[in-house]
Structure 1
Amino acid sequence: ESLWVRLARPYAGEKYGFHWPLLEGTEVAIAFEGGDPDRPYIAYALHDSMHPDHVNLYNYKRNVLRTPANNKLRMDDERGREHIKLSTEYGGKSQLNLGHLVDSQRPRPDKRGEGFELRTDDWGAIRAGKGLFISADKQARAGGEVLAMEAALNQLQQAQALTETLCGAAETAKAELADLQQQKALLSETLAELKKSALLLSAPEGIAQTTAKSLQLAAGENIIATSGKNTDFSVLKKFTVAAGDRISLFAQKLGIKLFASKGRVEIEAQGDEMGLAALKDITVNSHEGKVIISAKKEILLVSGGGYIRIGNGQVECGAPNHIIQRATAWQKFGGQSVSQSIQQWQTANYAVTPKAVRAYKISPLARQNMQLHAEDGGVQALSTAQNGKSPLQKQVGVEISQLKIKDEE
């Protein structure tokens, strides 16, 4: 037995150093500072027959740092099989593998792949506070800037040019235009060189997202989708679209087709007029039923100056030239009317009761003074009840408002 003996290390200082503690039972070599037997120190540790070296004849080209808990840094220098592995057993083995990836088979492991692999059996997160660029665009031998994104930006610029071209055609047709300015701002002010905290994905041969369950896309502002050729949606059950303001569809060359193999097709303008116009013919057919046209006030058919007006219980015919009637028989009877079925529509209720909750605990913010910031810039002071709810807010349509704690910046 002896007093504590200092351990020699390759790097040491007041606030820095190399810390690799020895465990009980480890064989060590003792040296003496200046040959003084009163100043011993541990020069190095040794393997022995009870503690053999984990690098041996089968893996002698490996350079390994490994702790008793199997936290490991392994660097293999075998030519053509070079790799680095950084791993821990916690979390069901979390690893960073680089280069020639191999399995744990001994004495000669089998190849698992090449490149890099970052994996864990537990949770994983990638965070970059100033922005993140993920790319499959080739950059040989790391010969370029870290944020070299010319290929990605070229694709976005082409998409922007396509949108601009179609916007011109849509404007000529008086269709609704895409928000081109927002698209330009996103590219120039945010994505280019990651001027703001954004995520940019790029791949020259395609990107796929898949899940056995649900996939959600959400944006606080715009969702922009542009394709140089086709955009296809295939849905097994329902395909629904809801817009708070307007839906606009525009086709420049080949028209628009709407088909329903079964079930009714219903088109309604529940709060205003409906317009149907064509440069050439309009055809209305019912192959096995009737064509019914009804109006509460009046039906007016006009062509070439001639007209038929139906309304107020009478039918009026007029023409600048002849009115020709052809029939094998013409019969007149007393007056008669047909009952008319008019569609009744209900006005949607957009009233809401805002509720304030703590985001992480999902518990209500009780008796809290709040401010409701509306889209038009208006600010309303209100207070929440014990359950976190505020007074009923009546709206005329879908609006996005922000509920903030009073005086919150």
Structure 2
Amino acid sequence: MNILYKNISDLLIGFGLNIHHRTITANFSNIELNSQLFLNYFSLYHEINEGVRAELICVSISDSIPLKRLIGCQVAVDVRTEKNQLFRTTGIITSAELGKSDGALTIYKIILEDATSLLRYNRNSRVFMNKSIIDVIKIIFHEWQQRSPLFAKSLALDLRNLKKTYDIRPFIMQVDESDYSLITRLLRSEGVNWCIDESQLFVLSHGHSIQAQKLKLIDHNGQFSQLDRREIRYHPSSAVEATDTITNLIAKRRLQPTSVHVQRWQADCLKQTDWPGSSLSNHRHSDYYDNYYLSLEQSWHLTPAWITDLKGQDVATKSSNTQLEKLNLHLTRYHDLQAKKFVAQGTVRDVQVGYYFELNGHFEIDQHAFNEKQFLILKKQSFHHNNLPKDFNETIDKLLQINQWNIDIGEEKQGCQLTLVRRHIPVVPEYNPQLHKPIAYPQHARVVGPQNESIYVDEWGRIKVRFLFSRIENNSHDGGSGSNDNDTDSAFVDVLTTWAGEGFGSRFLPRIGELVVVDFFNGDVDRPFVMGRIHEAERYPTKFDVQGSLPDTRYLSGIRSSEIDANGFNQLRFDDTQGQISAQLQSSYASSQINLGQLSHPKAKETSADRGIGFELRTDDYGAVRAGSGLLLTSYEQTAANGDHLDAEEAKKQLNTNQAYSQSLNNIAKQHQTDEIESVEQLKVFAENIQQDIAKFNQAVLLLSSPKGIGLSTASDIHLSADTDINQIAKGSVNISTQKNFITHAVEKVSLFAVKQGIRLITAYGKVDIQAQTGEMDLVADKTLKLTSKKKTIEISAAEEIVLNVKGNYIKINGEGIEQGTKGESRVYTSKHSILGPKSIDFTLPQDPFNEMFVLKDPKGQPVAGFAYKIVTGDGKVFKGVSNEKGETIRLSSGFDVTQLEISADDSKEE
């Protein structure tokens, strides 16, 4: 060999070889490489739903070709067919190795792959909203074509073989996943085949420009094309043939599952759906047992169905049983596809994966119907070896051995092995719901929503989040959705809660801006849910009472909320500090609180000052305690809550005892012919409302009781009001003291009775005025009755007559004069006795302030008792009251003009 040649092409030409008329030829997009490298060996692996990978062994007289000059270079390998046509396979160099050299020749091993291999090198995390799988693939392809010139000129997307429509999914996510993995798992999930094909399978010359390959998406067997040669003949390898043939055909059958069952949770109807149930395959696997009795079932528990916007504001397809039915059919068809295949071996050079042909000349196949003689190529493995002079071949073989590149070229210069399936057998990609998905781990996200909202949820309490990995540059296709920091960044996401009953449970809705931790149902990145929230950096853990920080306040636990767009809060705080254990329910508005236990001031550190023990119910604003069935306020002890909560037996005993004392006093009053306390029995009835055995009240009573006293104090007024009676009973004294007036009014009567020590009515200053304005007055004493004026006069006046009578002896004074009478002696002691003429003293008797009343009668003339009335006078004065048993109103005045009065029922609610 002459080492003075410029390149390998000159060398081969020097040996009399036509380099352009070889079995295989490589055409590099880098023109310099076409003269530097000569293709000696070419092996190909090409499979539907996979891709193209080829290995090239090239020879050069240069051992210094930079390998990076090879990487990314497009290559077209032309195989010369039986008809002297050039059958082309293209690709991109993704790997190159520099082999050993013998000083004259150097070998290079080159790996050629289709352009989808570039997708494997790109790893990304992003989201897509309201897109079908075809939409997502088109977006990714467009982005690749925009940013990668190599990809743009190497691969085109061919959608012409798609005949079905595809669901619009509300949410698709890519997480630490290559673009290749994302695209292929989406295609697998919908049963769409993908296949690499050439834009031109045949070219006229080696110098023909390299065209982009096609990524063909196919969803129906009817879309597969037939080879240009249309048929291939079967002929055993023992015969010498001038045309390419299949020399060996092997049928392979493998046992597969005979039925498929799929099920998933359907949240919008709250049930596990499994339509259409367990589906038997139509493919018969055994002559001995039908599919039912083989009973080889694959049952899949799938990811929960996606749920669209509850108001239908997105454009996503609503999940339904149709999706389960399609998946069931997909899995069944894949098992049928795997059940029987054919492996063909031969010398056919112009065959392509994803095409079908008719096989003729096979003794068994020829007996079948026409449609069963057509075979679709699923996989192709081939090799081709250029025929070079013996010295060249020996040198190359030695270099291959030195490099340990185990390539057994052998005697055959070319051959192929095809994996076939009958054309009418539906072809679908393999899909394992548990394997064909990226690994999903819990991750951070931020709660988002529309502007001017603090909490944004749907009817189910689902929220929207921005996944923190989402980058602006990945979302330009959809108005930035995914990285807008608003409600366009995701579909609605479920939120895990500790309790979710039907209209009841716990509810703590995440707020916009909060950090949440997201996990995924069934490990499926397209089904996220919020599992909790997290504090980090300046998003400090809960500060009770808006003070303190961890670890100082580590003994506090509970919940504190935050007022929307303001500074208030609500909190439930548990303080487990030793010696200060307490609980608090608080609203910051008006410092409204319930405090229980060993109370202390809010903690900014580990401990704080004590402020009492027991409980406190307080507010700076209004307060109300309301109990519709009864209320007990007591300071009687019930240690450790060891009794019923309405246990008021002590109060009941006290009420009964005092009722007995009062009844005894009532009996004495009756003996003395004075008024009884008519409501004494009511006290007994009141006490009977307190049931001891079951500790409840029979009526809605309010009971206050204390063993050590009750204090009632105010800096203003105290008002006691009752529609019936007010009873005050004491075993001791009832003492009333006032700094101003003591005024008692009674519509009917006032009665005072003392058993032992009498009644004293004394005024230190001012007049004592006792009147019976419309009735009589009796002053009776069992002994002496004294009328004394210490400093002035005693005046006794009467409108008609005054009678003084002692045992029949009398003095009578009236308008006629003075009359005296006695049955005994009349004795007068005087120092002087004068009898003068007539004389009188003018004297005006006190006038009644009001002497007129009204009597209310019904149409029959009967008095109306207990009638609430309102009387309005001509000058606008208003009198209200309730008529007595005789139908009488209160006395209003004197000399009313009755024509100016208006009497009506009093419908007001005022007391």
Shift of 1:313: 3.3
Write the distance in 2 (CA, Å) between the matches of 1:273 and 1:133: 47
Shift of 1:34: 3.6
Change beyond 3 A, Cα 1:30–1:105? closer
Which position in structure 1 is the counterpart of 2:352? none
Matched letter for residue 669 of structure 2: A
Residue of 535, 559, 571 corresponding to 1:65: 559
Q: Secondary structure at the match of 1:92?
A: helix
Matched, 1:99 2:597: yes
Matched, 1:270 2:773: yes
Write the distance in 2 (CA, Å) between the matches of 1:190 and 1:351: 43
- Aligned partners of 2:516 and 2:530 also within 8 Å: yes
Alignment of 1:9-20 (within 5 A): 9-20=497-508
Deviations 1:10-35 (A, max 9, x none): 33355444432333444444434444
Shift of 1:402: 6.2
Which position in structure 2 is the counterpart of 1:396? 888
Shift of 1:160: 0.8
Write the distance in 2 (CA, Å) between the matches of 1:325 and 1:33: 124
Change beyond 3 A, Cα 1:249–1:16? closer
Change beyond 3 A, Cα 1:191–1:340? farther
Write the distance in 2 (CA, Å) between the matches of 1:56 and 1:261: 70
Matched letter for residue 101 of structure 1: L
Residue of 645, 653, 656 corresponding to 1:154: 653
Matched, 1:145 2:644: yes
Matched letter for residue 95 of structure 1: Q
Matched letter for residue 278 of structure 1: A
- Aligned partners of 1:8 and 1:42 also within 8 Å: yes
Q: Larger C-alpha radius of gyration, 1 or 2? A: 2
Change beyond 3 A, Cα 1:135–1:39? same
Shift of 1:260: 1.7
* TM-score of the two chains, using structure 1 as the length reference: 0.80
Alignment of 1:8-47 (within 5 A): 8-47=496-535
* Structure 1: gaps of 5 or more residues: 354-372, 381-386
Which position in structure 1 is the counterpart of 2:789? 286
Indicate the larger mover: 15-24 or 136-145.
15-24
Which position in structure 2 is the counterpart of 1:110? 609
Deviations 1:159-197 (A, max 9, x none): 211211111121122111101233333332579842111
Change beyond 3 A, Cα 1:59–1:284? same
Shift of 1:334: 3.6
Matched, 1:188 2:688: yes
Indicate the larger mover: 327-336 or 119-128.
327-336
- Aligned partners of 1:133 and 1:199 also within 8 Å: yes
Which position in structure 1 is the counterpart of 2:833? 330
Change beyond 3 A, Cα 1:324–1:202? same
Matched letter for residue 52 of structure 1: Y
Write the distance in 2 (CA, Å) between the matches of 1:6 and 1:298: 100
Write the distance in 2 (CA, Å) between the matches of 1:30 and 1:101: 39
Residue of 705, 715, 721 corresponding to 1:218: 721
Matched letter for residue 47 of structure 1: H
Change beyond 3 A, Cα 1:290–1:52? closer
Matched letter for residue 530 of structure 2: I
Which position in structure 2 is the counterpart of 1:252? 755
Which position in structure 2 is the counterpart of 1:199? 702
Q: Secondary structure at the match of 1:98?
A: strand
Which position in structure 1 is the counterpart of 2:550? 56
- Aligned partners of 2:558 and 2:572 also within 8 Å: yes
Change beyond 3 A, Cα 1:138–1:28? same
Matched letter for residue 609 of structure 2: D
Matched, 1:319 2:813: no
Write the distance in 2 (CA, Å) between the matches of 1:233 and 1:378: 33
Q: Secondary structure at the match of 1:307?
A: strand
Which position in structure 2 is the counterpart of 1:357? none
Which position in structure 1 is the counterpart of 2:865? 376
* TM-score of the two chains, using structure 2 as the length reference: 0.38
Shift of 1:37: 3.6
Residue of 617, 620, 635 corresponding to 1:136: 635
Aligned residues: 376
- Aligned partners of 1:6 and 1:41 also within 8 Å: yes
Matched letter for residue 252 of structure 1: V
Matched letter for residue 200 of structure 1: L
Write the distance in 2 (CA, Å) between the matches of 1:234 and 1:104: 43
Write the distance in 1 (CA, Å) between the matches of 2:760 and 2:754: 10
Write the distance in 1 (CA, Å) between the matches of 2:648 and 2:803: 61
Identity of aligned residues (%): 30
Write the distance in 2 (CA, Å) between the matches of 1:82 and 1:115: 11
- Aligned partners of 2:868 and 2:906 also within 8 Å: no
Kindly report the root-mean-square deviation, in angstroms, between the aligned alpha carbons of the 2 structures. 3.4
Matched letter for residue 556 of structure 2: R
Change beyond 3 A, Cα 1:292–1:6? closer
Deviations 1:224-277 (A, max 9, x none): 111121112222222211111111111111111111222222222221222221
Question: Looking at both structures, which has the greater relative contact order when contacts are Cα pairs under 8 Å and sequence separation is at least 6?
Answer: 2
Shift of 1:337: 3.8
Shift of 1:158: 1.9
Change beyond 3 A, Cα 1:163–1:50? same
- Aligned partners of 1:87 and 1:93 also within 8 Å: yes
Deviations 1:129-171 (A, max 9, x none): 1111111111111111111001111221122112111111211
- Aligned partners of 2:553 and 2:604 also within 8 Å: no
Write the distance in 1 (CA, Å) between the matches of 2:647 and 2:690: 15
Deviations 1:83-122 (A, max 9, x none): 1112222x32322211121222411322121211222223
Matched, 1:163 2:662: yes
- Aligned partners of 2:634 and 2:706 also within 8 Å: yes
- Aligned partners of 2:867 and 2:905 also within 8 Å: no
Shift of 1:43: 3.6
Matched letter for residue 557 of structure 2: N
Matched letter for residue 555 of structure 2: K
Indicate the larger mover: 283-292 or 212-221.
283-292
Which position in structure 2 is the counterpart of 1:121? 620
Write the distance in 2 (CA, Å) between the matches of 1:276 and 1:16: 74
Change beyond 3 A, Cα 1:210–1:37? same
Write the distance in 2 (CA, Å) between the matches of 1:304 and 1:350: 41
Change beyond 3 A, Cα 1:199–1:334? same
Matched letter for residue 9 of structure 1: T
Write the distance in 2 (CA, Å) between the matches of 1:158 and 1:64: 48
- Aligned partners of 1:191 and 1:198 also within 8 Å: no
- Aligned partners of 1:190 and 1:197 also within 8 Å: no
Change beyond 3 A, Cα 1:253–1:377? closer
Deviations 1:351-399 (A, max 9, x none): 599xxxxxxxxxxxxxxxxxxx98637899xxxxxx9x99xx9963449
- Aligned partners of 2:631 and 2:702 also within 8 Å: yes
Shift of 1:312: 5.0
- Aligned partners of 2:652 and 2:690 also within 8 Å: no
Indicate the larger mover: 315-324 or 237-246.
315-324
Alignment of 1:346-357 (within 5 A): 346-350=849-853
